[in-house]
Chain A
Amino acid sequence: MIGSGVFMLFGVIARRGAAGGVDADPVPQALVITGIVVAFSATAMAVALLLRLFKATGEATLAVSAPKDAGGDGDRS
């Protein structure tokens, strides 16, 4: 969710940069499209790690010094 907030910041700046016959600056838009795909890749990787941890230990949290709710929050990005 923080990621999508950052993407929207790019979008607002792109919209304010409308010039040259387009409604929004295409460069930040292209960066955001790339960003969405990379964010999805990272999320999929994190979810796979979490599931493997769950399979190995039966818990969705790390044993020591990890917040107890990692299972609830760790699978969102």
Chain B
Amino acid sequence: MSPATIFDIGLAVLVLGVAAWTILVRDTFAAVVSFVVYGLLVALVWVRLSAVDVALTEAAIGSGVTGMLLLGAAARLRPAEAGATPPSALICASAAGLCTLIAMGLAATTLILPDPAPTLAPAAMAGLPASGLGNPVTGVLFVYRALDTLLEKVVLVLALVGVWSLAADEEWGGTPEISATRQPDGILTFLAQLLPPVGIVLAIYMFWVGADHPGGAFQGGALLTAMWLLVLMAGVRTAPATGLVALRLVIVAGPVIFLAIGFAGFAWADGFLSYPAGYAKPLIVIAEAALTLSIGVTLGLLALGPRRCMASAPPPSWASGCSASSPARSCYAKFWPSM
């Protein structure tokens, strides 16, 4: 057995173990932390599956930003957790049995695929030179299936509109609160001042190489989000008010520019979202640049929610810092009191 096979088997066992722990553990905070670990392990699985683009996306969005979102929710829902009763053993056993059956069935289906399995890889590679791109995944995202990618950006914006719409009337257009107790000499403040320049350069690099190598607008945008959230968590800067016109323009700029390039396809090429010969790559890079910034801001605002701490909720004892009387403290203070 080669070392790579042993590593793969170990990784698979670890992923299954962490997944089971995430589901079984009763404490919400422990479950969220476990979910983040699970996401990072899954990113490793994607690397082993030769899908580096997906690994970057999974690590940044599936694990990082989702973890941040769930941590915030777990902090605020902590008082509701006390009264929750675990489901009965029968329900647990039947759910586990059903899931195992489905997983075994899917695994068997994958194993009996003919070798080589049905694939669109040769077709995708054949059309790639015409677009001037070197990364087939970017090719699929922005050339063959550009409409999917455009609609996905619209879904992101719609989700943000939905999240904001769920804010209470008095919170509408307000500033998402996230700032923890500011500690000018704290490690978080230090990291929030040290990492963003590096992170922003890396994000631009990731978006730029996306045309020819693993990377792209999603990965770069998610990295921007991470840097932004870090700065906000450390309290170095405050989040902008969600009612700010400039902020909203940045959010829609990416999809609007992509859409404009799509409609321009009627004029200079065969139709919607088609690119004129020779200009495909520059146009895709322009669309990706606008999308990177929009994705970064939208993901961050989705993770922040309409308001981080809700002043009018009945303040439970642990969350007294979240009440209107002392807005400077954060829900996170409960989990990381040293912050």
Contacts and interface: CB of A to CB of B under 8 A. Distances in A.
B146 to A, nearest CB: 10
Contacts of B163: 44-45, 48
Interface string A42-71: 111101111110110011110000011101
B13 interface: no
Interface in B124-158: 124-126, 136-137, 139-141, 144-145, 148-149, 152, 155-156, 158
A54 to B, nearest CB: 6
Contact of B218 (A14, A27, A37, A50): A37
Interface string B79-94: 0110111110000000
B137 A50 contact: no
Contact of A51 (B53, B76, B83): B76
Interface residues of B, number: 83
Secondary structure of the B contact surface, majority rule: helix
A29 B23 CA distance: 26
Given A50-B73, A68-B84, A1 B22 contact: yes
A9 B155 CA distance: 24
B335 to A, nearest CB: 15
Given A25-B121, A71-B80, A16 B115 contact: yes
Contacts of B23: 1
Contacts of A50: 73, 77
Contacts of B155: 37-38, 41
A1 B121 contact: no
A44 to B, nearest CB: 4
A13 B306 CA distance: 39
A12 B303 contact: no
Nearest to A21: B125
Contacts, number: 222
Secondary structure of the A contact surface, majority rule: helix
B159 interface: yes
B50 A24 contact: yes
Given A32-B54, A47-B70, A37 B119 contact: no
A69 B35 contact: no
Contact of A41 (B38, B115, B141, B302): B302
B66 A40 contact: yes
B313 interface: yes
Contacts of B246: none
Interface string A26-37: 110111111011
Interface of B: 19, 22-23, 26, 28, 31-32, 35, 38-39, 42, 45-46, 49-51, 53-54, 57-58, 61-62, 65-66, 69-70, 73-74, 76-77, 80-81, 83-87, 103, 106, 110, 113, 115-126, 136-137, 139-141, 144-145, 148-149, 152, 155-156, 158-160, 162-163, 166, 168, 218, 295, 299, 302-303, 305-306, 310, 312-314
Interface of A: 1, 4-5, 7-9, 11-27, 29-34, 36-45, 47-52, 54-55, 58-61, 67-69, 71-72, 75-77
